[in-house]
Structure 1
Amino acid sequence: MSQSMMSVSSLNTKIKSLLEATFMHILVEGEVASVTYHTSGHVYFSLKDKESSIKCVMWRSSAAKLKFRIEKGVHIVIEGSVGVYTPRGEYQFYAVHVEPYGKGALALAYEQLKEKLKDKGYFDAQRKKPIPKHIQKIALVTAKESAALHDMLKIIEQRWPLLEVVIVDTLVQGEQAAAQIAKALHYADRLDADVVVVGRGGGSTEDLWPFNEEVVADAIFSMDTPVVSAVGHEVDVMISDLVADLRAPTPSAAMEMILPDRQEILYALDEIGGRFTYVIGQKLHQWVRELKHTEEILLRSSPNRRLQETQIEFIRLEEEFKRVIKHKIERFSSAVPELLKHYRQNLGFIVEQKSQYLEYMDKKLRMNDPKLQCRKGWAQTSVEGKAVALSSIEVDQKFIIQDETTRIEALCLKKT
């Protein structure tokens, strides 16, 4: 054989050198056919078009910078180089950067996270907490030197300076910002504030991106304290805006939305005070009238008043009684001699009648006295204490025979 031989390893090494030297820092577009996120952090996927496919790998260091998730069916553009795995003679594409085809990576990441959180119920209206009407303490989660904080404090001073403000400092842009914002939110949730406002001023999509991170959304969703998201300008709608209990278009607008205006409160208090004074005046006037009326009733029905009236009436009746008695005495005084004469005449007549009756009864008693009526040899018969004729006594009837000195109980044996 005129040609020189080489080993398989040597061939694969030459192919590797040739491919890696030829296909460096190239762009390839296609549809993701399959994808695997390894526990190590590496991402393994394959890219295809209508006629063929190629295996790709993205090492952990590059995958950590991805703003969106590589998913099956997504049309993407990958940047990297072709390499050969010498032990198996297989080539694959080593991706160092991935972008969605036709749109930015951040836009796709936003849509992917939005759909994911929506499915988890993070945006449901029924889980959103109401913002308290009367706020006494507020926690502001933002950068302590930011213009947004200055604007919020200015509005607080104008609208409701009595508010207790706690500032929780945090990064609001950069790669470390999302984790710091989430940590600051968890801290603010333990401050016993009435509401937490998280936000920052305007900026580019990249500057505002920490508020579109899942870790921030998780922190807001887990909080017990009502959260207001105030990020960027009105046209900027962040994931934090959708998860929060209230979305404010700007940090300044957040303060105007949740805090009362002290001038309006003062006007309202003046109006309420006027109405209160009028109502109290009317009530007092009514109560004074009722009190006077009650006092009159009390005086009329009081024991002292009644006692006085009774005493007066008693005195009046006493005078009237004296007058009547005096009149009666004067009237009957002239009739006393005549009455006395008449009384004496009647008394004499009655005494005479009673004397005659007494004499009559004495004679009658004497006539009925057995001692006076009985002559010698004669006795009185009686039955059960009543004097009876001897002829009225029946055979076998008991009777009494009594004379002046003797009393005999007898039984009639025979009657003729």
Structure 2
Amino acid sequence: MNTPINVSTLNTQIKSLLETTFIQVYVEGEVSNLTYHNSGHIYFSIKDQSSTISCVMFRGNTKYLKFQLEVGQKITITGNITVYAPRGNYQLLCNKIEPSGQGALALAYEQLKTKLENKGYFEQTRKRILPKYPKKIVLVTSATGAAIEDMKKVALHRWPLVEFILIPTLVQGEGAAYDISNSIKYADTLNADVIIAGRGGGSIEDLWAFNEEIVANAIYEAKTPIISAVGHEVDYLISDFVADVRAATPSNAIEIALPDINEHRMYLDTLVNDYDNLLKRILFNKEQDVINLKRLFEQNSMENKFKFIESEIKLLKSSFQSNLSQKMTNSRNEIEILRKTFDNSYSQIILKLQNNVDLLKNNYELNHPDKKDKNGFVQISKDNKLISLDNIQIGDIVSLQSPKYIATCVINNLKKQ
């Protein structure tokens, strides 16, 4: 009869069997029951349609995990089976975890980008404006890389007046993110105008330090404007989104940060020309103003006023004399016309009077009473008016007048012959 073994022995045998049989497994499943422990270990399970298995990733391996595990996420695990003998539980000990169907770095990038965007790290309203003429720029980059030499060359030709402070920084590999973060924090204390953090091109792994959250936090918390200048034009890093300005390359960062001295030289030439033209125009206008004022003063001087009044008096005198002469001439002409008219009229009147006098004289002579005194002839009058016998009626009282006598008669009889 076999001797029974105790539980600990059985669990130990099972542990030895499983751990030697499943030294390395590669398994795919969906994350569930996820716990990030304070110790730094990660406890979770993976499952498929019908089964589940417990998993653990210890802190020593979690530092290589580039992305954040999430419940429901499908992943692939490289690891081995281990047994916790005191409880008789077996679990999958994870050495490496990758997102299923997607690269770990790509997923970590998207996860961190979404997280920081939700926290407002990318808001345009918080981004600072770069100074137009920076006096001091701090460079957070490698002291031995090609990027620093490129930046120096561009600065020398573009704006040699600026002062550069280089903080030699580890920009790739283990600990690069912490070094970049610390360099940015230190640069923020140097009272600089601009901080440029970056490096030259490389693979996504080489540039990855600028995708770390610790670097994003340092950029976000800095008080000094920061330009992110990492890699090439096609490379977009988390630091690019958090920084105040993104530059395509380190050289481009210098072009963005510094003004172009040649443009300013041309601008100064333009200002000088504009100033000269403006000054000439102002002087010309002032000269014209002085000339006009002088002319106006001369026009309104006492001498000119007296001359004007004198000319007015002369003009009035001349006009008066001319008008007087004209009026006198006109009056003479009128008088002459009147005289001629009067002479003609007087002559005619005299002639008419003479004719009338002659006529009256003739009539008088013809009608003189002495000549009318003929026997048998008298004048008949009625009411002191001469009338003829044709106008006399029976009963009329008439007067019969001769040169010597007047007889009053009453008509008693009247006959026609």
TM-score (normalised: structure 2):
0.69
3-state SS in 1 of match to 2:165: strand
Partners of 2:166 and 2:125 in 1: how far apart?
Answer: 29
- Map 1:189-208; keep pairs closer than 5 Å: 189-208=188-207
Letter in 1 for 2:59: R
3-state SS in 2 of match to 1:197: strand
3-state SS in 2 of match to 1:221: helix
Letter in 1 for 2:72: G
3-state SS in 2 of match to 1:106: helix
Partners of 2:93 and 2:298 in 1: how far apart?
Answer: 108
CA 1:169 to 1:291, structure 2 compared with 1: closer, same or farther past 3 Å?
farther
Letter in 1 for 2:234: V
**Offset from partner CA, 1:228-249 (integer Å, 9 cap, x none):** 1110011110000011111111
Q: How many residues align?
A: 305
Using the TM superposition, give the Cα deviation of residue 28 of structure 1 relative to its aligned residue in structure 2, in angstroms: 1.3
Per the alignment, residue 27 of structure 2 pairs with: 28
Per the alignment, residue 52 of structure 1 pairs with: 51
Per the alignment, residue 239 of structure 1 pairs with: 238
Per the alignment, residue 99 of structure 1 pairs with: 98
- Map 1:119-198; keep pairs closer than 5 Å: 119-198=118-197
Note the aligned Cα RMSD (angstroms).
2.1
Per the alignment, residue 114 of structure 2 pairs with: 115
Using the TM superposition, give the Cα deviation of residue 3 of structure 1 relative to its aligned residue in structure 2, in angstroms: 2.9
Per the alignment, residue 338 of structure 1 pairs with: none
**Offset from partner CA, 1:368-410 (integer Å, 9 cap, x none):** xxxxxxxxxxxxxxxxxxxxxxxxxxxxxxxxxxxxxxxxxxx
Per the alignment, residue 249 of structure 2 pairs with: 250
Partners of 1:15 and 1:93 in 2: how far apart?
Answer: 15
Partners of 1:219 and 1:300 in 2: how far apart?
Answer: 78
**Offset from partner CA, 1:274-329 (integer Å, 9 cap, x none):** 1111111111222234346667888999xxx99xx9xxxxxxxxxxxxxxxxxxxx
Per the alignment, residue 43 of structure 1 pairs with: 42
Partners of 1:54 and 1:194 in 2: how far apart?
Answer: 56
Per the alignment, residue 368 of structure 1 pairs with: none
Using the TM superposition, give the Cα deviation of residue 40 of structure 1 relative to its aligned residue in structure 2, in angstroms: 0.7
Partners of 1:6 and 1:74 in 2: how far apart?
Answer: 42
Letter in 1 for 2:50: E
3-state SS in 1 of match to 2:183: helix
Letter in 2 for 1:99: E
- Map 1:247-396; keep pairs closer than 5 Å: 247-291=246-290
Partners of 1:3 and 1:235 in 2: how far apart?
Answer: 72
CA contact 2:194–2:257 (8 Å) conserved in 1: no
Letter in 2 for 1:244: A
3-state SS in 1 of match to 2:160: coil
The question of 1:9 aligning with 2:8 is answered yes
Per the alignment, residue 72 of structure 1 pairs with: 71
Per the alignment, residue 212 of structure 1 pairs with: 211
Per the alignment, residue 408 of structure 2 pairs with: none
CA 1:162 to 1:299, structure 2 compared with 1: closer, same or farther past 3 Å?
farther
Partners of 2:54 and 2:158 in 1: how far apart?
Answer: 61
Letter in 2 for 1:131: L
**Offset from partner CA, 1:90-122 (integer Å, 9 cap, x none):** 111111111111122111111110110011011
**Offset from partner CA, 1:12-40 (integer Å, 9 cap, x none):** 11101000000012111111012111111
Letter in 2 for 1:85: Y
CA 1:197 to 1:300, structure 2 compared with 1: closer, same or farther past 3 Å?
same
Partners of 2:63 and 2:268 in 1: how far apart?
Answer: 57
3-state SS in 2 of match to 1:92: strand
Partners of 1:155 and 1:298 in 2: how far apart?
Answer: 63
Runs of 4+ in 1 over 6 A off after TM superposition: 295-301
Partners of 1:282 and 1:44 in 2: how far apart?
Answer: 83
Using the TM superposition, give the Cα deviation of residue 197 of structure 1 relative to its aligned residue in structure 2, in angstroms: 1.0
**Offset from partner CA, 1:74-101 (integer Å, 9 cap, x none):** 1111111111111111111111111111
TM-score (normalised: structure 1):
0.69
Per the alignment, residue 387 of structure 2 pairs with: none
**Offset from partner CA, 1:145-195 (integer Å, 9 cap, x none):** 211111111101111111122212211111211111111111111222221
**Offset from partner CA, 1:189-219 (integer Å, 9 cap, x none):** 1222221111000011111000000000001
Structure 2: segments with no counterpart, 5+ residues: 304-417
Partners of 1:258 and 1:132 in 2: how far apart?
Answer: 8
CA 1:140 to 1:16, structure 2 compared with 1: closer, same or farther past 3 Å?
same
Partners of 2:225 and 2:289 in 1: how far apart?
Answer: 51
Letter in 2 for 1:151: D
Using the TM superposition, give the Cα deviation of residue 43 of structure 1 relative to its aligned residue in structure 2, in angstroms: 0.7
Letter in 2 for 1:169: P
**Offset from partner CA, 1:324-367 (integer Å, 9 cap, x none):** xxxxxxxxxxxxxxxxxxxxxxxxxxxxxxxxxxxxxxxxxxxx
Partners of 1:272 and 1:149 in 2: how far apart?
Answer: 35
Shifted more, 187-196 versus 242-251: the winner is: 187-196
Structure 1: segments with no counterpart, 5+ residues: 310-416
Instruction: Look at both structures and tell me which one has the larger radius of gyration over its CA atoms.
Output: 2
Shifted more, 212-221 versus 134-143: the winner is: 134-143
Using the TM superposition, give the Cα deviation of residue 63 of structure 1 relative to its aligned residue in structure 2, in angstroms: 1.1
